[in-house]
């Protein structure tokens, strides 16, 4: 085996209960004028106000931007950057769920390089470093606190789009599981299932020929020895902690496992990438307006069933990490876990109508960056069969 690996991560990652209280000291090493990006709900939260107070106590001037919207509409990021220019921030801090962190990344990019988000769609299009960035997640799911990706929604394209560049990886990430204790069961399930999907897709992604410079050509290089380490650890932690955290939000041990799992999953897919489940979810989400985590988790058992002939070794390792008897138990056990925490079983349950199956399959096939990362190839006919199976709940047709 060729022990090729790639790792991209924040310069500093602080993990643990109470670590949020280090924000003032950390921020003071990076700048003097902090733009804090969050949403309207968090802006009124006592924990959030305490964090702002720590920044001010450390001598920083602070401007709070609470305009983040779900899925980060492109125009909202442009408006946020424009509104911040007069303040002249030298540091951006994102506090909140994945949308808040993605908004902070995009604003840090626009403040550094100008233009519009559309100028930077795709991979390796960001020309250089963005403003120093601190990420503080309050949910455990997207992994945005450690990834090179900002996902936005583009009304002109009717789809989510991504900006992918190592320059978007936060300078410092502060992951404090106590910030997730008030996260309701439904959001805990959606975010945690998203994280588990990230870990599984990274662990089962295609393994590319490690030609010199591969990581300079691609942001997402595929499965490798370093991403595998983080992905498998994430799978074990999330399998142990997710259901418990959904059942009892005050279970701090479970919360710690889920947040650490989500962060490790981000480190894994931030270099390995995701695959077919994410490709299909983009058009499904555009049509059904359902949460991203619901869609990818709903799709994961079907995508794994399709991939099963070429991921048998990985299924055996997942079984070990999850404490299952053998590789044949992984997909049924994953489907059962997701169903127990409230993830819809089929695309029909998500609200996708029968007459949109062909459109979803066509759009999914066009997202080549993700489809090419899938371990088993999918031509348009096979993609249509996969979407139809996920719509009707028929995993057996994919075997």
Q: What is the pLDDT of residues 258-273, one digit of tens each?
A: 999 999 999 999 999 9
**Alpha helix (H) ranges present in the chain?**
23-28, 40-43, 46-57, 74-85, 98-113, 185-203, 214-217, 225-247, 252-272, 276-288, 292-307, 312-322, 330-340, 347-350, 357-365, 368-371, 380-392
Specify the pairing of strand 133-137 against strand 91-96: parallel
The model carries a pTM of: 0.96
339 token code pair:
């169903």
Length of the chain: 399
* Long-range contacts, stretch 357-360, CB < 8 angstroms, 24+ apart: 357/384, 357/387, 357/388, 357/391, 358/384, 359/283, 359/287, 360/280, 360/283, 360/284, 360/287, 360/387
Over residues 299-313, the mean pLDDT reads 98
The percentage of residues in the chain with a pLDDT greater than 70, rounded to a whole number, is 100
314 token code pair:
């990985």
Over residues 210-222, the mean pLDDT reads 94
The percentage of residues in the chain with a pLDDT greater than 90, rounded to a whole number, is 96
144 token code pair:
């945005």
325 token code pair:
């008897």
Over residues 295-318, the mean pLDDT reads 98
Over residues 144-165, the mean pLDDT reads 90
Over residues 239-263, the mean pLDDT reads 98
Q: Given a cut of 90, is residue 232 above it in pLDDT?
A: yes
Q: Given a cut of 70, is residue 37 above it in pLDDT?
A: yes
The pLDDT score that the predictor gives to residue 1 is 57
Q: Given a cut of 70, is residue 66 above it in pLDDT?
A: yes
Whole-number mean pLDDT of the chain?
96
Instruction: Decide: 286 and 166 in contact? Cβ < 8 Å.
Output: no
Confidence of residue 298 (pLDDT cuts 50, 70, 90): very high
The pLDDT score that the predictor gives to residue 158 is 73
Over residues 105-109, the mean pLDDT reads 98
Q: Specify the higher pLDDT residue, 356 or 157.
A: 356
Confidence of residue 161 (pLDDT cuts 50, 70, 90): confident
Read off the DSSP letter of residue 250. T
């Amino acid at each position: 085996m060729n022990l090729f690996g790639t790792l991209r991560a924040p310069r500093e990652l602080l993990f643990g209960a109470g670590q949020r209280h280090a924000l003032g000291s950390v921020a003071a090493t990076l700048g003097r004028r902090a733009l804090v990006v969050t949403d309207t709900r968090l802006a009124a939260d006592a924990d959030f106000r305490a964090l702002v107070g720590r920044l001010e106590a450390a001598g920083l001037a602070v401007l709070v931007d609470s305009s983040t919207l779900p899925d980060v509409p492109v125009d909202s990021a442009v408006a946020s950057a424009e509104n911040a220019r007069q303040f002249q921030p030298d540091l951006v801090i994102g506090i909140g769920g994945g949308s808040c962190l993605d908004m902070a990344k995009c604003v840090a990019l626009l403040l550094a390089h100008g233009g519009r988000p559309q100028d930077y769609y795709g991979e390796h299009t960001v020309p250089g470093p963005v403003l120093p960035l601190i990420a503080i997640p309050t949910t455990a799911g997207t992994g945005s606190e450690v990834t090179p990706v900002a996902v936005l929604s583009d009304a002109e394209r009717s789809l989510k789009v991504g900006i992918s560049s190592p320059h978007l990886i936060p300078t410092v990430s502060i992951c404090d599981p106590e910030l997730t204790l008030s996260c309701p069961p439904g959001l805990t399930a959606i975010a945690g299932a998203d994280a588990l999907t990230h870990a599984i897709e990274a662990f089962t992604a295609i393994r590319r020929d490690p030609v010199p410079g591969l990581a300079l050509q691609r942001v997402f290089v595929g499965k490798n020895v370093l991403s595998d380490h983080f992905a498998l650890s994430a799978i074990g932690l999330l399998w142990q902690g997710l259901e418990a955290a959904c059942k009892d939000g005050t279970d701090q041990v479970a919360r710690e496992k889920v947040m650490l799992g989500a962060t490790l999953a981000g480190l894994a897919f931030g270099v390995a990438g995701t695959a077919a489940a994410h490709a299909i979810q983009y058009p499904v989400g555009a049509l059904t307006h359902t949460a991203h985590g619901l869609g990818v988790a709903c799709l994961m058992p079907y995508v794994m069933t399709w991939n099963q002939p070429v991921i048998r070794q990985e299924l055996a390792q997942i079984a070990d990490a999850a404490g299952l008897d053998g590789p044949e138990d992984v997909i049924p056990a994953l489907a059962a876990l997701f169903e127990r925490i409230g993830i819809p079983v089929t695309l029909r349950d998500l609200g996708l109508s029968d007459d949109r199956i062909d459109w979803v399959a066509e759009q999914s096939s066009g997202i080549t960056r993700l489809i090419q990362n899938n371990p088993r190839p999918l031509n348009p006919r096979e993609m249509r069969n996969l979407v139809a199976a996920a719509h009707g709940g028929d995993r057996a047709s994919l075997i």
